[in-house]
Amino acid sequence: MKKINQKIVIGLIAMLCVSLFTSCKKELDVQQNFPFEVKVLPVPKQLPLGGTAELRLEIHPTKVYAENAYALRYFSFEGKGDLRFEKGAPFIPNDSYPIAQKVFRLYYTAHSIGSHAFTLWLTDSFGNEKKIECSLQVQK
């Protein structure tokens, strides 16, 4: 009976050692890629010629990863106007602009009468993208 118990104990110790050495990894698997949502406050639908519309945006990631960076691209496909950060130069369409904070404002200034439409693309460091479409009407 002692020999059977001894064999069981030795077998359990052997199984424990095998499972410990085969299940451990040297590197931890840390998730860094988290999707995000973008909240846009209402934008005026009409502007006077030369008028400026303020766009307030907030980035809401599902989880926060400190090293994740966000960028903005813009493409205007109808109407003449400029989009910029509060104290910045007008954006060049399809260029990428880093976003310093998760809550920010953009300003669109209309330079022509009629319909204006543009698209914003927000991306993060991991390639996740969100598309925001904006349109407004400019009158004299």
Give the mean pLDDT of 48-75.
91
Residues 72-121 pLDDT 10s: 999 999 999 999 998 889 999 999 999 999 999 999 999 999 999 999 99
pTM (two decimals): 0.75
Within-domain flag for 45? yes
Within-domain flag for 59? yes
Give the mean pLDDT of 120-140.
93
Q: Please tell me the predicted confidence (pLDDT) of residue 7.
A: 72
CATH of the domain at 60: 2.60.40.2410
Confidence at 2, pLDDT banded by 50, 70, 90: low
Question: What DSSP line would sit under 30-78, residue for residue?
Answer: ------EEEEE----SEEETT-EEEEEEEEEESS--TT--EEEEEEEEE
Within-domain flag for 23? no
Within-domain flag for 76? yes
Within-domain flag for 96? yes
Instruction: Give the residue numbers spanning the domain of 129.
Output: 36-139
| Total number of domains constituting the chain | 1
